[in-house]
Structure 1
Amino acid sequence: MTKTIDFYFDFISPFSYLAQVKLPDLARRTGCVIEYRPIDIPEAKIAAGNYGPSNREVVPKIKVMMADLERWAAKYEVPLTFPASFACSDWNCAALYARGQDQAEAFVTAAYHRIWGIGIDPRDQNELRGCAEDVGLDADALCEFVRSPAGQGEYRKARTQAYQRGVFGAPMMFVDDQIFWGNDRLDFLESYLLD
């Protein structure tokens, strides 16, 4: 029976970007499918009872985190450029539209490349439209979904279900009763899937 990797991510997360660089190949190697599940990290933290400051507000932590990000990007041989803003909610919602069109992997990969590889401004709707078009999605339909009460409702429901499941950050990968948090847990995920 094919196993599913529930991949919880937020386009605000550079570590989710790094996980997405490797996750599709890992899934193919292990015969799994990925279910892309966008969340909102600040909201997830609060839902889990974490009211502490964001990483950006803890200067010693952000310094180490930045060095780690650069190391991971170099290891994975991918560009890493901080985006012009962290306003990624529309992109997260758009991932649900892409999932409904069986284009989640392509959209998420292309979106992460734009946001964290190139460093675009996620607030720019032309970037969102361009990303949709690049992967063969109808940009008008995608943007309509993102703006619609139905699309926003689907995104809200997806987030609520994630938090009820225990999602507190991203990236998180769930398989069976196992949880793997962080791009640095992909080796553990693969070992579990190959057992």
Structure 2
Amino acid sequence: MTRTIDFYFDFISPFSYLAQLKLPEIARAAGSTVEYWPIDIPEAKIAAGNYGPSNREVLPKIKVMKADLERWAERYGVPLTFPASFACADWNCAVLFAREHGKAEAFVTDAYRRIWGQGIDPGDRNELAACVKAAGLDAEALIAFVESPTGQNEYRKARSQAIQRGVYGAPLMFVDDQVFWGNDRLDFLAEYLNKSK
């Protein structure tokens, strides 16, 4: 039986970028699949009772976090560039369209490469359209979905279901009754998958 890793993420999350670099290969090695579920981190934090400021507002924390991110990027041999903006809601919503068309992994991988690898501005619709085409999807249809009440309802529903499940941040991965939070928990996730085959 193929097992599923439910991967909850938000494109504003650089640690989700790092997790996405390794998660598909971990899943394949264990004969599992990844299901991609976009969330809104600030919304999930508040729903979980975490009313603290964002990391970007805590200067000592952001300094250490940036150093950590650079260390992880060096370890993985990938570029890391903070994006020109954090306008990621449309990209998160677009994941649901990509899921419906069997292209979630391709879309998410390329979106993260652009947003956190190249540092593009996610608010630029031309960047979104280019990513959609690279993933083998119809850019016009996807953007129409993102702008539609249907698309926005689907995104709201996905966020609400994540909150009901107890998602409070990203990256967060569920397998069976186990929860793994953070890029630095991927080894534990891989061990669990391989132990319980």
Give the TM-score category using the shorter length: over 0.9
Q: How does 1:141-160 map to 2 (within 5 A)?
A: 141-160=141-160
Aligned structure 1 segments of 4 or more residues deviating by more than 4 angstroms: none
Q: How does 1:1-195 map to 2 (within 5 A)?
A: 1-195=1-195
C-alpha distance in 2 between matches for 1:12 and 1:125: 16
Q: What SS is found at the alignment partner of 2:155? A: helix
C-alpha distance in 2 between matches for 1:135 and 1:42: 27
Amino acid at match of 1:75: R
Question: What TM-score, normalized by structure 2, do the two folds share?
Answer: 0.98
Q: What SS is found at the alignment partner of 2:81? A: coil
Report the alpha carbon displacement of residue 59 of structure 1 after superposing the two structures with TM.
1.1
Name structure 2 gaps, 5 residues minimum: none
C-alpha distance in 2 between matches for 1:106 and 1:27: 15
C-alpha distance in 2 between matches for 1:59 and 1:124: 28
Amino acid at match of 1:186: L
Aligned residues between the structures: 195
Q: What SS is found at the alignment partner of 1:4? A: strand
Residue deviations 1:47-77 (CA, integer Å, cap 9, x gap) = 1010001101111111110000000000001
C-alpha distance in 2 between matches for 1:14 and 1:178: 23
Q: What SS is found at the alignment partner of 1:80? A: coil
Q: What SS is found at the alignment partner of 2:102? A: coil
Amino acid at match of 1:71: R
Amino acid at match of 2:94: A
Residue deviations 1:121-149 (CA, integer Å, cap 9, x gap) = 00000000000001110000000000000
C-alpha distance in 2 between matches for 1:149 and 1:169: 26
Q: What SS is found at the alignment partner of 1:173? A: strand
Residue deviations 1:97-124 (CA, integer Å, cap 9, x gap) = 0010000000000000000000000000
Report the alpha carbon displacement of residue 182 of structure 1 after superposing the two structures with TM.
0.2
Q: What SS is found at the alignment partner of 1:33? A: strand
C-alpha distance in 1 between matches for 2:141 and 2:50: 36
Aligned-pair Cα RMSD in Å = 0.4
Identity percentage of aligned residues: 75
Q: What SS is found at the alignment partner of 1:191? A: helix
Amino acid at match of 1:11: F
Residue deviations 1:154-188 (CA, integer Å, cap 9, x gap) = 00000000001000000000000000000000000
Amino acid at match of 1:120: I
Report the alpha carbon displacement of residue 42 of structure 1 after superposing the two structures with TM.
0.4
C-alpha distance in 1 between matches for 2:144 and 2:164: 28
Amino acid at match of 1:127: E
C-alpha distance in 2 between matches for 1:102 and 1:136: 10
Question: What TM-score, normalized by structure 1, do the two folds share?
Answer: 0.99
